């Protein structure tokens, strides 16, 4: 009988093209508050999904209460006492607190098919009281704030007698007061012997709350140590690692005139006084953690979301951009981070997707000029080396890298001047990555302006001429490629809220 409530031994999980977890091991004791941190893509989410039975590990073993487990589905993990409170809450807002807490585990009146609401309401009230909230459990969940909704999720875990509660960035949507309430709840749970796995992007929270911290990098375990032995510098250094990468075919180009200038951009609750300038002939990197407001900044500039204030200047002229259509008129291209839901129409053909943003160019009156479309599409396929069985197959059938090239082709056909690449190489294999970098190089060599949002620091350092670091909707730092701070650690420090000397 070991001391641990849950134990992962040498877990490996592979996806097509990537190994998300390599030989990962983890042990958590009852009543332990364990922090889990790592860069974006370090494998935290995969680890959580293995623990909660969403994914099945390719190799390795899971033990709970010293018993070997095989989670075939999330309900198996629940039965074993492992529950997870996700970043996006799974709450039915129109149902009462009781309904939400007992969802999937309702209690009937003895020997009847009727629900025993008297018992469930009482139990819900007790649980919510235990978590520090005296609320009427019969009221609809949606009438309460995010903090209480989160407690409802935790209560749901407790009703199932969870012994380990995983919290995936639980504080990201909470206010300061609610965070403190959450922490005191977690401490109460700890006293009752419940273990917590606390995933966070905020270092100060780890230091405030956790007993121990595990750091992950590239799907591997870096170290686990007592919080007393850890400094924030050590955390950042170990998250970043020291691997050097020469997969970045950076070329030297000349940075010329101002292309895009943003002045005091504001979007309530999302963006806070964002000002920056991007030039022709440079690649401007945007670094930061997921949710730092990088994508939101450019969605707003592109007219996809409404700004609450601020000014956009394109090529020295004030631009009025109310919709993506306007942005395209100003020759801005936005390659969205999620290609399948925002960049492409999966059911439509490669040909159609390539002309999606520039249909006017291919029109003769109301009709489409098919010979011109075919010629352009063939040119795109050749110059971007898109691997496809033909122009008339649905784009959904292509691989990730080729889909991305179709998206690039779509924007090149609009004759854009400013290209915003949001996570341009996410989910595509190494070979295709280099091809995408080469396309970016070509664009800046032609004197265009390229802005690259990326969560992969090696990519940011390898390709950018200049980097802007964001955190919580603000710009934290701006670093030139020649600068002494142009390294992973300093960028990470800025992204985690530290200051650069």
Would you say 258 or 369 has its CB closer to other proteins?
Answer: 369
Range in contact with other proteins (rule: CB under 8 A) among 86-94, 121-129, 212-220, 333-341: 333-341
Quick one: which of 161, 363, 378, 480 contacts other proteins (CB under 8 A)?
A: 363
Name the β-bridge partners of 69: 62
Q: Which one of the spans 57-65, 226-234, 253-261, 357-365 is the region binding other proteins (CB under 8 A)? A: 357-365
Nearer to other proteins, 78 or 403 (CB): 403
Render 11-52 in DSSP notation, one character per residue. Answer: EEEEETTEEEEEEEEEEE-TT-EEEEEE-TTSSHHHHHHHHT
Of the candidates 336, 380, 464, 488, which one interacts with other proteins according to CB under 8 A? 336
Contact 124, 133 (CB under 8 A): no
Position among 112, 243, 341, 371 found at the interface with other proteins (CB under 8 A): 341
Sheet holding 18-28, edge to edge: 18-28, 6-15, 59-64, 67-69
396 near other proteins, rule: CB under 8 A: yes
If one asks whether residue 359 binds other proteins (CB under 8 A), the answer comes out as: yes
* CA distances for 35 relative to 200, 209, 231, angstroms: 7, 8, 14
Of the candidate spans 87-95, 216-224, 283-291, 394-402, the one that interacts with other proteins by CB under 8 A turns out to be 394-402
Exposed, middle or buried, 172 (CB in 10 Å: 0-12/13-18/19+)? middle
Q: Are 17 and 43 in contact (CB under 8 A)?
A: no
Does 362 participate in binding other proteins (rule CB under 8 A)? yes
Does 143 bind other proteins (CB under 8 A)? Our answer is no
Q: Which is nearer to other proteins, 98 or 336 (CB)?
A: 336
From the list 334, 419, 437, 496, which residue makes contact with other proteins (rule: CB under 8 A)?
Answer: 334
Contact status: 347 vs other proteins (CB under 8 A): yes
User: Is residue 346 at the binding interface for other proteins, with CB under 8 A as the rule?
Assistant: yes
Which 3 state secondary structure label does DSSP give 235? Answer: helix
Tell me whether residue 127 or residue 333 sits nearer to other proteins (CB atom).
333
Per the DSSP assignment, residues forming a β-bridge with 197 are 34, 166
Q: How far apart are CA 146 and CA 159, in angstroms?
A: 20
Instruction: Please report the DSSP string for 270-313 in residue order.
Output: TEEEEEEEEETT-EEEEEE-TTSSHHHHHHHHTTSS--SEEEEE
367 contributes a contact to other proteins by CB under 8 A: yes
In the complex with other proteins, the residue whose CB is nearer, 103 or 368, is 368
In the complex, least distance from residue 198 CB atom to other proteins, rounded to whole angstroms: 34
Chain residues 307-326 in contact with other proteins, contact rule CB under 8 A: 323-325
What is the 8-class DSSP label of residue 400? Answer: H
- Phi/psi at 74 (5° precision): -55, -30
Nearer to other proteins, 367 or 482 (CB): 367
Nearest partner of 119 among 136, 106, 128, judged by Cα: 106
Binding to other proteins, residues 458-487 (CB under 8 A): none
* Binding of other proteins by 304 (CB under 8 A): yes
The DSSP line for 309-364 is: EEEEEETTEEE---SHHHHHHTTEEEE-S-IIIII--TTSBHHHHHTTT-GGGGEE
Tell me the site size for other proteins, rule CB under 8 A: 40
Nearer to other proteins, 240 or 319 (CB): 319
Nearer Cβ to other proteins, position 122 or 387? 387
Please identify, among the stretches 73-81, 254-262, 310-318, 389-397, the one whose residues bind other proteins according to the rule CB under 8 A: 389-397
302 lies in the binding site for other proteins (CB under 8 A): yes
Angle at 103 between CA 174 and CA 91, to 5 degrees: 25
**Is residue 348 within the footprint of other proteins (CB under 8 A)?**
yes
Q: By CB under 8 A, is residue 16 in contact with other proteins? A: yes
| Chain residues that interact with other proteins, rule: CB under 8 A | 16, 302, 304, 323-325, 327-328, 334, 336, 341-348, 352, 355-357, 359-360, 362-363, 366-368, 370, 387, 394, 396-400, 402, 410, 414
């Amino acid at each position: 009988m070991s001391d641990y409530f849950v134990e992962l031994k040498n877990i490996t999980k592979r996806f097509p093209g990537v190994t998300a977890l390599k030989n990962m091991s983890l042990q958590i004791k009852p009543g332990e508050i364990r922090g889990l941190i790592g860069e974006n893509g370090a494998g935290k989410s995969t680890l959580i999904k293995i623990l909660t039975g969403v994914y099945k590990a390719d190799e390795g073993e899971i033990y709970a209460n010293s018993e070997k487990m095989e989670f075939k589905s999330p309900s198996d993990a629940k039965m074993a006492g492992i529950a997870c409170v996700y970043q996006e809450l799974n709450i039915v807002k129109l149902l009462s607190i009781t309904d939400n807490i007992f969802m999937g585990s309702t209690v009937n009146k003895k020997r009847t098919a009727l629900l025993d609401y008297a018992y469930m309401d009482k139990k819900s009230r007790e649980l919510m009281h235990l978590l520090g909230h005296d609320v009427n459990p019969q009221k609809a969940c949606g009438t309460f704030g995010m903090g209480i909704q989160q407690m409802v999720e935790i209560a749901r875990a407790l009703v199932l007698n969870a012994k380990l509660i995983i919290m995936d960035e639980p504080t990201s949507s909470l206010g300061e007061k609610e965070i403190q309430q959450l922490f005191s709840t977690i401490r109460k749970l700890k006293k009752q012997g419940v273990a917590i796995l606390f995933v966070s992007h905020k270092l100060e929270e780890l230091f405030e709350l956790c007993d121990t911290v595990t750091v992950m990098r590239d799907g591997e375990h870096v170290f686990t140590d007592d919080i007393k032995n850890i400094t924030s510098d050590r955390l950042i250094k170990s998250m970043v690692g020291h691997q050097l990468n020469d997969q970045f075919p950076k070329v030297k180009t000349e940075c010329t005139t101002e292309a895009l200038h943003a002045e005091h951009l504001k979007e309530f609750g999302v963006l806070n006084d964002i000002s920056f300038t991007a030039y022709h002939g440079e690649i401007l990197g945007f670094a930061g953690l997921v949710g730092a407001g990088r994508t939101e900044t450019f969605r707003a500039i592109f007219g996809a979301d409404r700004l609450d204030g601020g000014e956009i200047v394109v090529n020295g002229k004030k631009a009025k951009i109310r919709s993506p259509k306007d942005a395209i008129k100003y020759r801005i291209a936005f390659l969205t981070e999620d290609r399948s839901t925002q960049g492409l129409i999966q059911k439509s053909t490669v040909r159609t997707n390539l002309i999606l943003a520039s249909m006017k160019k291919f029109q003769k009156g109301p009709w489409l000029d098919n010979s011109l479309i075919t010629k352009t599409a063939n040119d795109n396929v050749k110059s971007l080396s898109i691997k496809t069985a033909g122009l008339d197959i649905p784009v959904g059938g292509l691989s990730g890298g080729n889909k991305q090239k179709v998206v690039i082709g779509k924007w090149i056909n609009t004759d854009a001047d400013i290209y915003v690449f949001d996570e341009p190489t996410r989910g595509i294999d190494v070979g295709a990555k280099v091809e995408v970098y080469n396309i970016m190089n070509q664009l800046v060599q032609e004197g265009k302006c390229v802005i690259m949002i990326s969560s992969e620091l090696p990519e940011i350092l390898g390709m950018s001429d200049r980097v802007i670091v964001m955190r919580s909707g603000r710009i934290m730092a701006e670093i030139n490629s020649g600068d002494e701070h142009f390294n992973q650690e300093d960028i990470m420090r800025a992204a985690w809220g530290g200051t650069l000397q």
